[in-house]
C-alpha cells in the first residue's frame, strides 16, 4: 500500500505533467500496477485494520435490550446487569455510542428576547463561607437578576432564601439597579417563590403591585434561563478569585463596586456593552409602581416575661414595659423593630448568624427597675392611708389613762 504522498504525486505527474504510467513507475521506482491502482482510486489510500470480534460484542445484545426498556440506565449498572468484568472505561465508551439510538431527542430552540420583556432570576451560592459574626461563618445566597435583552447584571447577597427575603431582594434590585419593571420575571422552581405552579402569597402580592408576571420554568429546562446561569458562572470565575470578605455587608460593597465593571465589558452576542443596551431595554419596561410592594415580615406576638422576641432563630430584646401585651415585630433585610400602638419598643440590626441573643442595655436596666419595684411592692400614696385615733382603742378596752381606772366589763369591742 502506497503512502498518501506517493498517491498525490502519482496523480500530479499523470494529470499535470502528462507522464505515462510506465514513466511514473520508472521515476518513482515502484511497480506499474501500483501506479495503475493509484490512478484508478477515487480517494486517498487509508489503512483499515480488519475487524476482529471483541468481548463486548457478546454482551452488546443484552445492553441494547436493557437500553430499550431503560434508556437512562447508568453504564455502571448496565455493566453489572450484563456481567461485564473487563475495562469499565471501554464499556462506557461503547454504551455512550449506543445510547443515543434509544434516547428521545431533546432539541433546544433559540430564544429571542425583545427589549423590556424579561429578567431572569436565580440564586448563586458563592463557595467561600462569609463571616456573619459571633465566630460563625455561613454560605449565603446571592440573588442574581439579568435583563434578557441587555444582559445587564444586578446582584445582592441575602440573609436567607426565605420568601420575604427574596421579595425584598427583588424589589431592591428592580428599584435601584433597573429603575423599572420587566413584563416577566423568570424563575426556576425555588421553594421560596412557589411550587407546583402556585406562587407563594407574598410573591403573588408583589407581582400584583408591580403589574408584572412571574413565570416559573419547567424542570429539566436549564436552557430557558441560560443567561442568568452564565452570569452566575461569570461571577464565580471573575469576581470571586483573589477576594476575601469580612462580612455580608463587605461582600455587597465589593460586589456593588465590581458590577459596573462587569456591565461595561463587551458581550459577543450583543456586539456591545450591557450598560449601552440598558436604556433601550428600560424604555420598553413598565414604570415602578407609585406604592412599593410589601417587602417586610410583620408578625404579632405576646411579649413574655423574659421580654425577648424570636426572629429567624435569634432572640431580640424588647422594652420590658410591654410584658404581657401584643407587640408587632417587623423584619427587613437589615433591621428588626418591635412596636405597640405606634410606640417603638426596640430597634436592632438584623443578625445573620444563628442561635444568638441580641440585647439592648437599656432594656436590661428597665427590667431591673421593674423587678425591684415588684419585689418591694407598690410605694405608699400620701393621703390614701386609713389612720385611726388611738383613743378608740382605749375606749374599746375600757381604759381611762386620766384616772387609771378600768371601765370595761371584760368584753372587747
Residue percentage of the chain with pLDDT more than 90: 68
Q: Which residue has the cell 409602581?
A: 289
The model's confidence at residue 161, banded by pLDDT at 50, 70 and 90, is: very high
Task: Give residue 342's pLDDT band: very low, low, confident or very high (50, 70, 90).
Answer: confident
Distance between CA atoms of residues 173 and 26, nearest Å: 82
Same domain, 150 and 265: yes
**Total domain count, the chain:** 4
Cell of 27: 521515476
Residue 50 within any structural domain of the chain:
no
The lowest-confidence range among 168-182, 185-199, 292-306, 395-409 is 395-409
Assess if residue 367 is contained within a domain. Answer: yes
**In this structure, is residue 391 part of a structural domain?**
no
- For residue 207, give the nearest of 148, 114, 294 by alpha carbon: 294
d(Cα 276, Cα 148) in Å, to the nearest integer?
A: 14
Q: Is residue 319, in this structure, part of any structural domain at all?
A: yes
Average pLDDT of the segment spanning 150-174:
97
What pLDDT does residue 7 have?
82
Please count the CA atoms within 13 angstroms of the CA of 216 that sit on its side-chain side: 16
- Of 352 and 410, the structure prediction assigns the larger pLDDT to 352
The parent domain of residue 170 ranges over: 118-283
Provide mean pLDDT across the span 26-48: 82
Q: How far is CA 116 from the centre of its chain?
A: 24
Q: Say yes or no: 145 and 256 in one domain.
A: yes
* 38, 127, 350 from 142: Cα distances, Å: 66, 11, 17
Distance between CA atoms of residues 308 and 390, nearest Å:
52
- Same structural domain for residues 122 and 206? yes
Of the ranges 18-27, 220-229, 332-341, 396-405, which one carries the lowest mean pLDDT score?
396-405
Least confident of 119-128, 174-183, 370-379, 388-397: 388-397
C-alpha torsion sign, points 161, 164, 170, 175: negative
Residue 335's pLDDT is what? Answer: 96
The SS3 of residue 219 is coil
Q: In terms of domains, do 81 and 155 share one?
A: no
Longest Cα separation, the chain: 175
Q: Is the pLDDT of residue 81 over 70?
A: yes
Cell of 134: 459571633
My answer on whether 97 and 122 are in the same domain is no
Position 356 scores a pLDDT of 96
- pLDDT confidence tier of residue 412, bands split at 50, 70 and 90: very low
Domain boundary among 260, 283, 306: 283
The residues, ordered by sequence, that sit 6+ positions from 207 with a Cβ below 8 Å of its Cβ are 185, 199, 213, 214
Q: Are both 154 and 200 inside the same structural domain?
A: yes
Instruction: Answer yes or no: do 311 and 249 share one domain.
Output: no
State the pLDDT at residue 359. 96
When the pLDDT of each residue in the chain is averaged and rounded to a whole number, the result is: 89
What are the CA-CA distances from residue 371 to residues 305, 357, 358, 365 (Å)? Answer: 11, 21, 21, 10
Least confident of 85-94, 115-124, 227-236, 386-395: 386-395
Mean pLDDT, rounded, for 308-335 = 96
pLDDT exceeds cutoff 70 at 384: no
Residue with C-alpha cell 431582594?
Answer: 169
Cβ proximity of 94 and 60 under 8 Å: yes
The pLDDT tens digits of the residues spanning 294-319 come to: 999 999 999 999 999 999 999 999 99
Query: What are 38-62's pLDDT values in tens digits?
Result: 888 877 777 677 667 788 888 999 9
pLDDT in tens, 116-147: 999 999 999 998 899 999 999 999 999 999 99
Judge if 136 and 244 occupy the same domain. Answer: yes
Amino acid at each position: 500500500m502506497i503512502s498518501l504522498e506517493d498517491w498525490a504525486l502519482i496523480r500530479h505527474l499523470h494529470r499535470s505533467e502528462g507522464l505515462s504510467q510506465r514513466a511514473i513507475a520508472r521515476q518513482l521506482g515502484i511497480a506499474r500496477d501500483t501506479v495503475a491502482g493509484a490512478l484508478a482510486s477515487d480517494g486517498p489510500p487509508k489503512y483499515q485494520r480488519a475487524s476482529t470480534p471483541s468481548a463486548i460484542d457478546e454482551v452488546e445484545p443484552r445492553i441494547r435490550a436493557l437500553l430499550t426498556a431503560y434508556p437512562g440506565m447508568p453504564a455502571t449498572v448496565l455493566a453489572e446487569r450484563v456481567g461485564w468484568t473487563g475495562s469499565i472505561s471501554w464499556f462506557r465508551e461503547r454504551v455512550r455510542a449506543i445510547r443515543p439510538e434509544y434516547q428521545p431527542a431533546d432539541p433546544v430552540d433559540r430564544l429571542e428576547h425583545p427589549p423590556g420583556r424579561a429578567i431572569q432570576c436565580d440564586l448563586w451560592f458563592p463557595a467561600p463561607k462569609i463571616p456573619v459574626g459571633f465566630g460563625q461563618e455561613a454560605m449565603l445566597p446571592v440573588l442574581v437578576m439579568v435583563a434578557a435583552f441587555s444582559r445587564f447584571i444586578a446582584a445582592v447577597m441575602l440573609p436567607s432564601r426565605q420568601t420575604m427575603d427574596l421579595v425584598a431582594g427583588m424589589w431592591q434590585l428592580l428599584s435601584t439597579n433597573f429603575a423599572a419593571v420587566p413584563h416577566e420575571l423568570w424563575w426556576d422552581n425555588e421553594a421560596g417563590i412557589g411550587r407546583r405552579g402556585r406562587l407563594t402569597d407574598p410573591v403573588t402580592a408583589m407581582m400584583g403591585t408591580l403589574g408584572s408576571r412571574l413565570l416559573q420554568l419547567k424542570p429539566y429546562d436549564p436552557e430557558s434561563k441560560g443567561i442568568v446561569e452564565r452570569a452566575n458562572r461569570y461571577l464565580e470565575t471573575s469576581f470571586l478569585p483573589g477576594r476575601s470578605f469580612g462580612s455580608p455587608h463587605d461582600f455587597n460593597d465589593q460586589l456593588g463596586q465590581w458590577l459596573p465593571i462587569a456591565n461595561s465589558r463587551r458581550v459577543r452576542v450583543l456586539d456591545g456593552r450591557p450598560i449601552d443596551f440598558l436604556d433601550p431595554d428600560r424604555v420598553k419596561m413598565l414604570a415602578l409602581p407609585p406604592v412599593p410592594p410589601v417587602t417586610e415580615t410583620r408578625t404579632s406576638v405576646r411579649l413574655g416575661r423574659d421580654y425577648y422576641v424570636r426572629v429567624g432563630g435569634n432572640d431580640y430584646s424588647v422594652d420590658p414595659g410591654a410584658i404581657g401585651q401584643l407587640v408587632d415585630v417587623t423584619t427587613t433585610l437589615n433591621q428588626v423593630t418591635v412596636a405597640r400602638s405606634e410606640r417603638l419598643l426596640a430597634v436592632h440590626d438584623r443578625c445573620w448568624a444563628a442561635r444568638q441573643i441580641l440585647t439592648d442595655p437599656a432594656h436590661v436596666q428597665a427590667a431591673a427597675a421593674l423587678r425591684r419595684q415588684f419585689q418591694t411592692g407598690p410605694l405608699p400614696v400620701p393621703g390614701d392611708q386609713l389612720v385611726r385615733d388611738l383613743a378608740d382603742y382605749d375606749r374599746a378596752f375600757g381604759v381611762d389613762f386620766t384616772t387609771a381606772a378600768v371601765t370595761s366589763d371584760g368584753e372587747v369591742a
